[in-house]
Structure 1
Amino acid sequence: MNIDHQKKVLLTGGRAPVTLELARLFAHAGQEVYVADSFSSQLTKASNGVKEAFTVHSPVQHFTSFIADLLKIVQERQIDLILPTCEEVFYVAKGKSVLEKYCNVFCPDLTYLLKLHQKYEFIKLVAEKGLLAPRSVFITSKEELPSAWEKIGEEAVLKPVFSRFGSHITFFDKTSIPKLNFPNGEYVVQKKISGQPICSYSVLLEGEIVAHTQYKVEFSAGNSAAIHFRHIEHSKIENWIRTFFDGEKVTGQFAFDFIETEKGEIFPLECNPRATSGVHLFAGRALPSSFLGEKRELLKPSLQTNRMIALAMLIYGWRNKGLWKWLKAMHQSKDVIWSWQDKKPFFYQFYSYIAMLKLSRTIRKSPLEATTFDIEWNGDDK
């Protein structure tokens, strides 16, 4: 992609802090930034780095209208690049053949995305690559659970093949099987792996890793949604990612959740083929060039970079590691929302959070589930 002049970039998923981060980075790099989301109180609309924000249809409920909305923005604003950030990426990918007639779309095809998003298919793909994978069994009903557990043979985890934030996860052993109650559907029963959770985030351009980071999960909201981020060097994970993508000429953002055992073994649990909080660890003007096609050395954050979602740390963080470690992390880390050059999103986040709470009550879902209910892909091809 030629980047010798200013580009017009459309970020979808404007509700997310990572989208705000990307909007600021692109604006700082001299690009013209637009955002779109089906949540009208999207956080990123308050940023002075955003030229214009749009409210679009929910891709879950109105896919055709969602693509039509994006197409209208692309044509009227002469967008050069669409960059999906959240789970709407699956719907953008589904409409990619239409959208890419008018601009570049930074995501793989839907078929490849779903191999990574569906948790059992992902584990199969990991094994095909010759990498370690947790022992896993696919089931569709509670009646299959005893035989699945026999194949695992020890403490296991039950989770839907489509889920996020560690939600709807149940740990169990043989004695607790009769007590489990869950609706029929597609699940993976997986051996529980003990160790240190580590998340990675990578940007790939035509199969080449152009940006990469990883960070330990130490503070989280819910079972696994990290809210504090510190870049670490980890050659085993970097080599794992290179092996996994070897021979794949894909373009997109890919994040993995790993467990590192006491023996130093690396086990992947799932893949999020979209932007994740690893974005917050990058600073300056360099990351946008990874999306805009500029060839360069592998981009990594500065060592020991510390970021946090301060509001989430105040609500959840103190429950995770004890008061002293929480206070130390709060003192050493920079909030991902606050910026002296772009103050409005910090104050707007409270309005956005209240709007999300109201929405969660209306749709009778938890606040965490409400953040994605209108954009998430759960295998429903509508």
Structure 2
Amino acid sequence: MKTVLLTLGRLPKALAVVRACRAAGCRVLVADPFRWHVCKPSRDVDRSFRVTAPNDSLSQYFADLLDIIDRESVDLVIPISEEALHVAKLRAQLPAGVKLWAAPLAQLAELHHKRDFIALAARKGLPVPETYTADESEARALALRSDYVEKPVHSCSGIGLRFAKAGDALASDSAEGLVQTHLDGDLISSLSVVSRGREVATVFYRGRVFAGTVAICFERVDDAVSAQQWVSDFLADSDYSGFLAFDFIVAGDGVARAIECNPRATSGVHFFDSASLGEALLDPESASSIKLSTGTRFQWAYSTLTETYAVIFKPREFIRRFKEMLAARDVIWAGHDPLPFFLMTPMSWEILWPAMTSSISLGEATQRDIAWFGESN
């Protein structure tokens, strides 16, 4: 039996990967800087470990992970979220035979940097919106003539996102800020499992209910022809391995334009059949594809319920969200593994408490200790 180590356990997508690896016959371990997380009570997790947060002490974080890998005879390490860019640095220090399900840091950093990703896609001849860093003169010219979006070049969960009208002054003139043309159209997202540039499987989905900018209720999209071609063309000359996700705006002309890349797992993982995903992660080079799950609508039920009651005095939107909630399957619940669902609130307390008692968002509370801000981090 192979032993798999996930380097984060606090997010629903981590639980999906836990269950996928267990369904494929693995012993599953989870490491997280939080003492409590949604994967901790799962019967599919053999052991959980608390480790130092990479943004507190990167060297100690590495030492903690390497100690687990050595003591528990880990065969495969799977990063889940923003910590992937930190964990990528461990590749050269891993014991012989231990595999890392992530691309090299240089690749991850280029894709994670929102300006560098757009430049890379443009060099490949792929459609993208006009994009500059805020210190470029072209950014100021763009802000004068077009509605635009501002965000940090390193950001996640919508942190620091600002929508502005043409003529509005830029909030920043720093190279760490991004200015991008605002596109009108349908926002869809993708998640691919990629092995040495080969697209093992890709799924597309759109949000139906949001918490801020984060989709918490989402549906599969099966006719994303332009976006599928975009993904295939992007990977055509790549040697990338790992999870790879894109956000697209599909305009009225039917053309998909990628607005950013997330080189990590996303909520799209819930649309893959659990056992099939687990088998592909264990042996991606032999996997021909990954089966899709039977459901086409999923949600974080607790969050969807909260966001539904947040608009209770807006009857039309309340009814719409309530119907979306009834039509979607919860991503935490599993009949063979019920405790993560019933203990969701206490297991998420290290996210909920700072979000309730300070000005930071839930997204920031989730990522603040693991987020990647470049080599200077």
Cα separation, 1, equivalents of 2:40 and 2:295: 30
Partner of 2:140: 146
Cα separation, 2, equivalents of 1:217 and 1:277: 10
SS at match of 1:231: strand
Cα separation, 2, equivalents of 1:217 and 1:76: 41
Write out aligned runs for 1:113-192 (5 A).
113-140=108-135, 146-150=140-144, 153-177=145-169, 181-182=171-172, 184-192=174-182
Given the superposition, is the C-alpha separation of residues 145 and 135 from structure 1 closer, same or farther in structure 2, using an over 3 Å criterion? closer
What's the offset of the Cα at 1:161? 0.5
What's the offset of the Cα at 1:302? 4.6
How many residues align? The count is 371
Given the superposition, is the C-alpha separation of residues 111 and 287 from structure 1 closer, same or farther in structure 2, using an over 3 Å criterion? same
- Per-residue CA deviation, residues 210-260 of structure 1 (Å, 9 max, x unaligned), is 12211012211112x111122222232222111101121121101111111
What's the offset of the Cα at 1:299? 2.0
Deviates more, 1:8-17 or 1:229-238: 229-238
Given the superposition, is the C-alpha separation of residues 300 and 135 from structure 1 closer, same or farther in structure 2, using an over 3 Å criterion? farther
Given the superposition, is the C-alpha separation of residues 139 and 181 from structure 1 closer, same or farther in structure 2, using an over 3 Å criterion? closer
Q: Which amino acid aligns with 2:218?
A: F
Deviates more, 1:295-304 or 1:308-317: 295-304
What's the offset of the Cα at 1:310? 0.3
What's the offset of the Cα at 1:110? 0.6
Cα separation, 2, equivalents of 1:244 and 1:144: 26
Cα separation, 1, equivalents of 2:275 and 2:109: 31
SS at match of 1:159: strand
CA contact (8 A) 1:202 1:212 kept: yes
Deviates more, 1:321-330 or 1:89-98: 321-330
Write out aligned runs for 1:1-382 (5 A).
6-99=1-94, 101-140=96-135, 146-150=140-144, 153-177=145-169, 181-182=171-172, 184-223=174-213, 225-233=214-222, 234-293=224-283, 295-302=286-293, 305-317=296-308, 319=311, 322-360=317-355, 365-382=360-377
Given the superposition, is the C-alpha separation of residues 362 and 95 from structure 1 closer, same or farther in structure 2, using an over 3 Å criterion? farther
CA contact (8 A) 1:231 1:305 kept: yes
Partner of 1:3: none
Q: CA RMSD, aligned part only?
A: 2.2
SS at match of 2:61: helix
Q: Which amino acid aligns with 1:87?
A: E
CA contact (8 A) 1:231 1:302 kept: no
CA contact (8 A) 2:5 2:78 kept: yes
SS at match of 2:167: helix
Deviates more, 1:359-368 or 1:285-294: 359-368
SS at match of 1:193: coil
SS at match of 1:44: coil
Deviates more, 1:17-26 or 1:311-320: 311-320
SS at match of 1:291: helix
Deviates more, 1:301-310 or 1:212-221: 301-310
What's the offset of the Cα at 1:27? 1.1
- Per-residue CA deviation, residues 174-215 of structure 1 (Å, 9 max, x unaligned), is 4321xx545845112111000110010011111111122110
Q: Which amino acid aligns with 1:312?
A: S
SS at match of 1:43: coil
Q: Name the % identity.
A: 33
Cα separation, 2, equivalents of 1:127 and 1:336: 35
Q: Which amino acid aligns with 2:100?
A: V
What's the offset of the Cα at 1:76? 0.6
Cα separation, 1, equivalents of 2:138 and 2:287: 50
What's the offset of the Cα at 1:275? 0.6
Structure 2 length-normalised TM: 0.92
What's the offset of the Cα at 1:147? 3.6
SS at match of 1:41: coil
Structure 1 length-normalised TM: 0.91
Gaps (5+ residues) in structure 2? Answer: none
Runs of at least 4 residues of structure 1 off by over 3 A?
143-148, 180-185, 317-321, 359-364
Cα separation, 1, equivalents of 2:301 and 2:228: 28
Gaps (5+ residues) in structure 1? Answer: 1-5
CA contact (8 A) 1:211 1:287 kept: no
Cα separation, 1, equivalents of 2:376 and 2:160: 21
CA contact (8 A) 2:272 2:291 kept: yes
Cα separation, 1, equivalents of 2:201 and 2:366: 27
CA contact (8 A) 1:231 1:303 kept: no
SS at match of 2:345: helix
Given the superposition, is the C-alpha separation of residues 181 and 207 from structure 1 closer, same or farther in structure 2, using an over 3 Å criterion? closer
